[in-house]
Structure 1
Amino acid sequence: MPEIRATQGKGNSKAYPYLLDVQSDIIDELHTRMVIPLFPVSRLVNNPVKRLTPTLNVEGNDYLVMTHEMASIRLSQIGDEVMDVRSHRQTIKNALDFIFDGF
């Protein structure tokens, strides 16, 4: 996971206005990317599992990294990069480790 980017989704989703692109750039021949949706903390109803859903600040607002909702989407559904989140790489990797390996 050398690069991680927060991007805008090209849809009109108010629930998930941003996507976290977590796929390695070494796999560039695919027409899809693995992404994790970001959910606005302001719309939170239940307390999430903190290790699974860490918080990131994007453009001045806090969002939960919805690791358990990770999916593959077409490149055409990914908008412009809004933030380089490499500084949060370990936190995001910990959430991925937690969902796949339980630690």
Structure 2
Amino acid sequence: MTQFTAYKNPNKATSKTYPYLLDIQSNLLGDLKTTVVIPLCASSLAGKAAITKLCPILEIEGKPFIALTQQIAGIDRKYLGDKVCNLSRYQTEIVAALDFIISGI
């Protein structure tokens, strides 16, 4: 598991809305059974709900997706689907969104 990797969401109940889950947990905690993820949704579904600093736009396979940082969750790693891509190029934006949700700055 690599931090800032996007995985397919295998959950049939939620995958239409959130097709990808972004693993944000530190690689130092790779031995844990669980990981922390941010669900990603298509930018067309987010509408005005996406606050840019809180919900950065990330590109996967040429399409924009919104990181719904306010919906951060801990899940068992077995619920991650196939690896899609690494989004570490957005590390600054992702960490800033986490800082914003915790400290408001």
Q: TM-score, normalised by structure 1?
A: 0.91
Out of 62, 66, 76, which is 1:64 matched to?
66
Q: 1:98 aligns with which of 73, 77, 100?
A: 100
Sequence identity of aligned pairs in percent?
35
Shift of 1:21: 0.3
Structure 2: unaligned runs, 5 residues or longer = none
Tell me the number of residue pairs that the alignment of Structure 1 and Structure 2 aligns.
102
**Equivalences for 1:1-103 in 2 at 5 Å?**
3-12=3-12, 13-103=15-105
The 3-state SS of whatever aligns with 1:20 is: strand
Q: Which has the higher strand share?
A: 1
Per-residue CA deviations over 1:77-102 (Å, capped at 9, x if unaligned) read 10121111111101100000000011
For structure 1, the residue ranges without an aligned partner over 5 or more in a row are none
Q: Which amino acid aligns with 1:44?
A: A
Higher helix share goes to which structure?
2
**Structure 1 vs Structure 2 CA RMSD:** 1.4
Q: CA deviation at 1:45?
A: 3.2
- Structure 1 stretches of 4+ with a deviation exceeding 3 A read none
